[in-house]
Amino acid sequence: MLGQDESDCCPTLLAAPLEEEQAVELAKVFKALGDPVRLRLLSMIASREGGEICVCDLTPAFDLSQPTISHHLKLLRQAGLIDCERRGTWVYYWLLPGTIDMLAGVLTRSGKSAASGPEGPARV
C-alpha cells in the first residue's frame, strides 16, 4: 500500500518523482479504471442509493455476457475499489471509498490555481 502516514504523507504524482514501487502499485489501480465497462460499473455502484447494488441490477445495463461482467467486477475488487457480499441468492457490491480518495489525492495539485496555465510553462 502507498504510504499515507506522517513520514510519507499524501503520495502525489505531481510534487515529486514517483518511486518505482509506488508507481507499480498505483498503476494497478489506474489500470482497473482504464476500461469503459469497469468505469460504468464502478459509477453505478458508487452512485447507488443505499450504497450497494445487486449484480442482477448491473448485468442488464450492458450488452455483455454475465461472465464478462463478473470478470470486470473481480478486477475492480482486486484493485481495492469495491467489495461484495453474498446475501441469499444474490451478491451485493459497494464502494470502498479509501482507494478512490487516495487516487483523488494523488491527482490533486496542491496549488490549485492552475498557476502555469493550460498552455504550459513560461518558455524562454
Partner DNA sequence: TTCTTGAATTGAAGTTTGTCAACATAGAAG
Partner DNA sequence: CTTCTATGTTGACAAACTTCAATTCAAGAA
55 binds, among DNA, its own copies, none (CB under 5 to 8 A by kind): DNA
Contacting residue, 4, 23, 30, 34, with DNA by CB under 7 A: 34
Name residues contacting DNA, limited to 51-110 (CB under 7 A): 54-56, 59, 63-75, 84, 86, 88-91
116 binds, among its own copies, DNA, none (CB under 5 to 8 A by kind): its own copies
Query: In whole angstroms, what is the distance from residue 47 CA to residue 54 CA?
Result: 13
Residue 108 near its own copies by CB under 8 A: yes
Per rule CB under 8 A, count of chain residues that contact its own copies: 55
Query: In whole angstroms, what is the distance from residue 86 CA to residue 36 CA?
Result: 25
Task: Give the number of other Cβ atoms within 10 Å of residue 105's Cβ.
Answer: 15
Residue 14 near its own copies by CB under 8 A: yes
The C-alpha cell at 97 is 471509498
| Minimum distance of its own copies from residue 103's CB (angstroms) | 5
Query: In whole angstroms, what is the distance from residue 119 CA to residue 58 CA?
Result: 41
Residue 122 near its own copies by CB under 8 A: yes
Stretch that binds its own copies, among 2-10, 11-19, 65-73 (CB under 8 A): 11-19
Query: In whole angstroms, what is the distance from residue 5 CA to residue 24 CA?
Result: 19
- Measured between alpha carbons, how far is residue 114 from residues 111, 117, 121 in Å? 7, 5, 11
| Minimum distance of DNA from residue 112's CB (angstroms) | 29
